[in-house]
Chain A
């Protein structure tokens, strides 16, 4: 599932998105600049502390989202165990886990529209310079919306192939897949026009 949202209402959801992103930026920079294994272990404890604050449901959901990291951690540890530098591996692995856990924390407690709002403000100088940034801003939610749709379309096409072929789908599926994506783009353009299109209304 691509959407990473909190299962419970937390106080952090009311904090300004820009502040959360700024704090994330500072924390991640610190994680990468500060040397030493103990810094990472202390940071992990602090991150876990943050995860426990909103309650057990949030903690369990949050940790479940981090499970995708275990193959990376495993490869790191195995590789460094072979080269004989296990403390280094632990440091790097913890650093990655800490950084992703913090980033997830921000994503889980911030709506997409608040995040795009921050992007909107960051882009202000470019907008004043006359660049068409509204299109980029509008593109962010669209990518998130259409990624699962495209995956689903790809699966359907695969099934259509399998239904009449005993071989694996090959390069010949690329063109129909592209056409499906273009078709989706047409429908999207129509849906946008039906409700006013992408026009940058200012507050």
Chain B
């Protein structure tokens, strides 16, 4: 067997909605520990994150994460990568914290008691052991975000895909989440519209209208910001898609 390519690799990855290619033939080769993807609203960021997580099937091209075909091989995919959605309400499936935490572990094929132990261990590791019986509905927004992170990290994925995880969070909540993310032990692929979220990231890709406009180091963030200020001075809100 040949050695799988490490990291994330896409070749000609495309995703079409009707005649419109929301993601248009992207070739990427990314590896951790931290990769940032920056782009405007509507540039295809969320679609990209869902393609890389295997939640959407590419219309064209191939996607491999640590050698795994994330759309076809779901079993290997959920053991390889986790994703945090922008809105934790869209991610939390169960009424209590412990059930939310054990769900993914059971899907990995763990026995019930083993899944429970692993979930409790992850809660303890995050210093939240006392949360296990809490109702997910009663958690604050920041706590819901943290629960989603813990539920995914309990599955020990090698990659964590973040889809605008800080949108709408206050500064203290954001600082605490950043701390948890930095020490979570997975490689991060962080997708955002805000250059501040990606400060300090070594590898940056700029996504623009479904294509990669630039890749490189932190200088890409500066180029992006300059371009955003220029576009902000114009009136492109008037343009309709299509």
Contact = CB atoms under 8 A, between A and B. Distances in A.
B138 to A, nearest CB: 8
A194 B90 CA distance: 11
Given A190-B55, A197-B74, A142 B107 contact: no
B78 to A, nearest CB: 5
Interface in B89-117: 89-96, 98-99, 102-104, 106-109, 111-112
A141 interface: yes
Contacts of A144: 95
Contacts of A195: 78, 82, 93, 103-104, 107, 151-152, 155
A166 interface: no
B176 interface: no
Contacts of B93: 141-142, 145, 188, 191-192, 195
A190 to B, nearest CB: 5
Which of B99, B111, B152 has its CB near the most chain A CB atoms (within 10 A)?
Answer: B99
The interface size bin for chain A is 20 to 34
Contacts, number: 85
A196 B95 contact: no
A contact patch SS: helix
Interface in B161-202: none
B143 interface: no
Contacts of B99: 111-113, 141
A188 B103 CA distance: 14
B109 A113 contact: no
Contact of B90 (A1, A117, A187): A187
Given A111-B96, A144-B95, A145-B94, A201 B137 contact: no
Given A149-B137, A196-B108, A191 B74 contact: no
Given A149-B137, A193-B55, A197-B74, 10 more contacts: A141-B93, A141-B99, A187-B85, A188-B93, A191-B85, A194-B91, A195-B152, A196-B103, A201-B107, A203-B112
Interface of A: 1-3, 5, 111-113, 117, 141-142, 144-145, 148-149, 187-188, 190-197, 199, 201, 203
